[in-house]
Chains A and B, each alone.
Chain A
Amino acid sequence: MSGDHVTLGGVVKRFPARANGHAVHALGPIDLTIRKGEFFAIVGPSGCGKSTLLELIAGLLPVSEGRIEFEGRPIAHEIPDGIGVVFQEDACFPWLTVRDNVAFGLRKASLDGAERTKRVDDAISMMGLSEFGNAYPAQLSGGMRQRVCIARTLVAQPRLILLDEPFGALDQQTRLLMGDEVLRLWRETAATVFLITHALDEAAMLADRIAVMSARPGKVIDLVETDWPRERDSRIVEREAFGAITSRLWKRLRDESMKTMGRAAVS
């Protein structure tokens, strides 16, 4: 690991008032640095602006105040090259086969035919989808469809991978196994990974560092270093330190989640 990959300085996001509504102060101010090559996770109560933060970093939304830099260049109104995103929702294109879905990630890259085919094949086999290249997403399980989306992200060889609760819709067993997959990919690609999750155990198992966010407007209220070795997998949940980390996260989050629930009860 070396150097800063993404830096956020005084980042604030407000959504303007809609008809019959109020302006929403969704996020910030947030100051945060994500190091090159690290696995960084964000946990927070629902509605705290985690996904908004991811969209700001991806360049999908403009910041209201502050500054975000990726590899030393500011992100403003445009999607930077070198960033890949895996969303929680099923983002497979239902009219394309698995192979074409994955190849979609290369649309903009200027590669010759042989290199394209090789990259697509590699990404498909890396995600264990080799037998399903000609299948349509509707023929696959939810977990497999999510793997197609990950393969589509990987094929572009991003230097920063943003994961927005990518396993949210999967069952617990599949989630643990997908966690192993993501850890393996993180090691093999040497990319920086930024994971948004509401699952404390997932964050504790996967990340090098975990930022805990407050209830809306989301701010970073704790930053936890896990000190896990780079070579790790889901069996890390058996370690004593794992329990200590998840309980620290929960301690910080409990009050914040209560605030969110209280607000939901009032509104």
Chain B
Amino acid sequence: MRKVTLVQVGIVTGLVLLLEALCLAGVIDKITMPPPHRIVVDFVRLMIAGKLWPEIGKSMGNVLIAFVIAYVLGILIGTVLHGYKGVRDTLDPLFATYYAIPVFAFYPLFIVMFGLGDGPQVLIGILLGVVAVIVTTLNGLDRVPQVLRKTARIARLTPLQTALRVTLPFCAPYLLSAAKLALAYAFIGVIGSEFIMAKNGMGYEIGYAYTNFDNATMYPLILLILLFSIVMNGVLTRWEKLLLARRGMA
């Protein structure tokens, strides 16, 4: 293991041990947070019991749908916008200030419009992620060297072929960064919406457990979300590193 990785693992382990000690010593009381070893035990118990699997499946399904739509839509819009400088210039201020808009404020409106189902949750996940993907795609496309575009023209590729075979592959590292952002936003959008108002889902269950002082459900679910998020992010980061290494940039 590399030295940096060792230090990183050391820091995380140290923090968990510190938390464990603080919980066991009573500095953090049991109602606020059980000690980490207890959370792990509860986590295993909850997973074996399987009662919450439908909730987990529902939330993860919605996260996946929101991620895929935000990602594909973002790349499409980014690629098309790149060819229309005027439209892009007009939209740039919106992109620059977009994340100052509290998208969650529109959630009640979406519920009125679409009902208390999965739709508004997925929509929030898409709305949060799509602009990050558009901006990152544009950023990547701006960096495609002119000479590669000329090479595509000499090979007499159509604009669509140029996008699929030259410009988007060049942007692959940027598109992986965009995927990480879209995934994080999909998690935030879907789970966050379930917290605020929903009939089911992981966020709903966490909120329900919270109001009932059910730490044995709440903390394992939080741990599960963390694990999902870390594993998926980790896979994308590894992939990104592989691509950059091929290009001599890692």
In the bound complex, what is the Cα–Cα distance between A156 and B156 (angstroms)?
12
In the bound complex, what is the Cα–Cα distance between A87 and B157 (angstroms)?
18
Chain A residues within an 8 Å CB radius of B150 = 55, 60, 85, 87, 91
Place the interface of chain A in its size category. Answer: 20 to 34
* B93 at interface by CB-CB < 8 Å: no
Chain A residues within an 8 Å CB radius of B13 = none
* A58 at interface by CB-CB < 8 Å: yes
**Contact A93 B169, CB 8 Å, known A104-B155, A108-B155:** yes
Please give the distance in Å from B82's CB to the nearest CB on chain A: 19
Q: How many A-B residue pairs have C-beta atoms within 8 angstroms? Tell me.
A: 60
- Closest B-chain residue to A90, C-beta based? B147
Contact in complex: B153, A60 (CB < 8 Å): yes
In the bound complex, what is the Cα–Cα distance between A81 and B154 (angstroms)?
9
Taken residue by residue from 95 to 115, chain A's Cβ proximity to chain B (1 for < 8 Å, 0 otherwise) reads as 110000000110110000000
* A138 at interface by CB-CB < 8 Å: yes
Please give the distance in Å from A129's CB to the nearest CB on chain B: 17
Please give the distance in Å from A85's CB to the nearest CB on chain B: 5
Please give the distance in Å from B61's CB to the nearest CB on chain A: 32
In the bound complex, what is the Cα–Cα distance between A108 and B165 (angstroms)?
12
* A228 at interface by CB-CB < 8 Å: no
* A242 at interface by CB-CB < 8 Å: no
Contact in complex: A83, B154 (CB < 8 Å): yes
* B86 at interface by CB-CB < 8 Å: no
In the bound complex, what is the Cα–Cα distance between A139 and B166 (angstroms)?
20
In the bound complex, what is the Cα–Cα distance between A93 and B247 (angstroms)?
9
Chain A residues within an 8 Å CB radius of B161 = 107
**Contact A79 B172, CB 8 Å, known A91-B148, A136-B246, A138-B248:** no
Chain B residues within an 8 Å CB radius of A89 = 145-147
Place the interface of chain B in its size category. Answer: 20 to 34
Among A84, A95, A105, A107, residue most surrounded by chain B Cβ atoms (within 10 Å): A95
In the bound complex, what is the Cα–Cα distance between A109 and B154 (angstroms)?
13
Contact in complex: A138, B148 (CB < 8 Å): no
Contact in complex: A139, B248 (CB < 8 Å): yes
- Closest B-chain residue to A138, C-beta based? B248
In the bound complex, what is the Cα–Cα distance between A156 and B155 (angstroms)?
9
Contact in complex: A95, B153 (CB < 8 Å): no
Q: Which listed residue (A87, A93, A138) contacts B166, Cβ 8 A? A: A93
**Contact A93 B148, CB 8 Å, known A79-B153, A104-B155, A105-B155:** yes
Q: Which listed residue (A55, A91, A95, A138) contacts B151, Cβ 8 A? A: A91
Contact in complex: A84, B154 (CB < 8 Å): yes
Chain A positions near chain B (C-beta within 8 angstroms): 55, 58, 60, 79, 81, 83-85, 87, 89-91, 93-96, 104-105, 107-108, 136, 138-139, 156
Q: List, sorted by A's number, 28 A–B pairs whose CB atoms are closer than 8 Å.
A: A60-B153, A79-B153, A81-B156, A83-B154, A84-B154, A85-B150, A85-B154, A87-B150, A91-B147, A91-B150, A91-B151, A93-B169, A94-B246, A94-B248, A95-B169, A95-B172, A95-B246, A95-B247, A107-B155, A107-B161, A108-B155, A108-B156, A108-B157, A136-B248, A138-B246, A138-B248, A139-B248, A156-B155
